[in-house]
Structure 1
């Protein structure tokens, strides 16, 4: 990467002091190619291969079997990014979820539907993201607003992993659409159904933060929901598992609501503040779904984890019932999940 270090220009005006190049602090330890990995670099100041993330994705060869690591320097990249099916094995490597972000501001209204509103849309297999944030900057809607859904990322490819990532939005932040996915040490914020879709996903040690408006003591209303899982048939092996996570923030919210009749969500060893409504869950106002949803809680703690007033269809899982959901075998990780390094 030597060509990307710009040397000092001769100073014609010494009185103005040293004028450094914007690229002088470009990381000196940029990783080098290996037989199995190629690197592309993105920097908004023009200090390396590309200035936009989409241009870097476009440059990856179609159907490449080797991993391409797209190294993204600090900054906010205001663009809409699509990783198509034809580009498997891509990694987005940021510099920290508070330092590197891809952001856009589409809504269901502006993009012809929630499913197209994502700032980032991933359709390929074996996608990895590390230490980067995905943001939708559209305004926070009020409950019931029409067309205000605003997805930060849609993940529609199989075998995706997110390590130390941030997901920022309000309604429908993270469209965890389909495939087997792993989220570790992530920060996920939103207001209504902010983790939704019909994927089979394991969330480990993640922070789930409600952005719903604070609710005054004594007020009964619900103004948010953490999940809306879309399992439509008992034959779908899909569901969201939250393992050793934390749920907090503002509002009075449900842990989940039954977007589809066989919605399946499990919270295990998770700490919940008292923003969780006592009934915990919602059947999308369709009592026939009470017979078909699978909502389980296991060994959770905190002010929101009291199960004494939970809805009738919520299951307090015993050890045997919980065991399929307590590790990454739920997403068959032994077949595909690479260690972080």
Structure 2
């Protein structure tokens, strides 16, 4: 299969998945039309040679408020040290890098750091990039939180690389680099295709309804850690993390997940796992009652 045909197949797979997830069994989500046809291309070049803008946030800010068409922001190679926020009014944004090893966005906030209000940022506010708009797509780009690796269980050291808090997002060929709480899969339906996700404790966490397809999950702890922390709180919620054809590698002793929510739901299928997974496999977050409800496979 040619590169272009493979790219089209991946995008078609994402659109079909969104359509399926928007059907009757998942009707709590509003049904919207995705915007595939591109109406605007924007370029970002930190070297200020070729781009329309030299920071990614400036490019995002230039997108019209209450956007109704697909805007593609092409990001030239480089290390972009900036904290980025994409607000709810700017839907249908695609962020396209020159390659995950070439286009890197990084910041270093942690939950305990003080924000502009004079109060700690918290885990929610620590994200290098926060996405609050629907139908976001990212391709071939690295999202990094470069805060140092903390001891397992340290307080206030959560350091999110990316937070996705909106419906119908896709990440293709991306990297998410961090330690504690790397990827905040907060709320909404999300599709991760052939991504690399690195961390130590709860490095994929949240209450999303998300599919991880062909991803590489890498632990960097030398003591103990946990891959997931899923926060499904009710039997009526249809959320959960599904991992298929993935690979789990790394160091230390790793739980596949911790039951952050009373009804946490995580499924691994056709996934290779290094010999770092603890024999128990799962941790009940210190509450044995959660073992009555948690769905795990």
Both structures adopt the same fold (TM-score exceeding 0.5):
yes
Corresponding position: 1:176 with 2:185: yes
Per-residue CA deviations over 1:232-285 (Å, capped at 9, x if unaligned) read 111111000000000001110100000111000000000001000011111111
What residue is the counterpart of 2:171 in the other structure?
A: 162
| C-alpha distance in 1 between matches for 2:233 and 2:100 | 33
Per-residue CA deviations over 1:18-38 (Å, capped at 9, x if unaligned) read xxxxxxxxxxxxxxxx97431
What residue is the counterpart of 1:82 in the other structure?
A: 85
What residue is the counterpart of 2:105 in the other structure?
A: 102
| C-alpha distance in 2 between matches for 1:266 and 1:156 | 21
Q: Which of 116, 128, 148 is equivalent to 1:119?
A: 128
SS at match of 1:231: coil
| C-alpha distance in 2 between matches for 1:49 and 1:55 | 9
| C-alpha distance in 2 between matches for 1:115 and 1:261 | 20
What residue is the counterpart of 1:69 in the other structure?
A: 72
| C-alpha distance in 1 between matches for 2:66 and 2:169 | 16
Residue-pair matches, total: 255
| C-alpha distance in 2 between matches for 1:129 and 1:35 | 16
Matches within 5 A, 1:1-341: 36-47=38-49, 48-110=51-113, 111=115, 112=120, 113-213=122-222, 223-296=224-297
Q: Shift of the alpha carbon at 1:212?
A: 0.5
Larger CA Rg, structure 1 vs 2 = 1
> What TM-score comes out, normalization by structure 2 length?
0.84
| C-alpha distance in 1 between matches for 2:260 and 2:254 | 15
| Structure with more relative contact order (C-alpha pairs < 8 Å, separation 6 or more) | 2
Runs (4+) off by over 2 Å:
34-37
| C-alpha distance in 1 between matches for 2:235 and 2:271 | 26
> What TM-score comes out, normalization by structure 1 length?
0.74
SS at match of 2:291: helix
SS at match of 1:212: strand
CA RMSD of aligned residues (A): 1.1
Q: Which has the higher strand share?
A: 2
Structure 2 residue runs without a partner (length 5+): 1-35
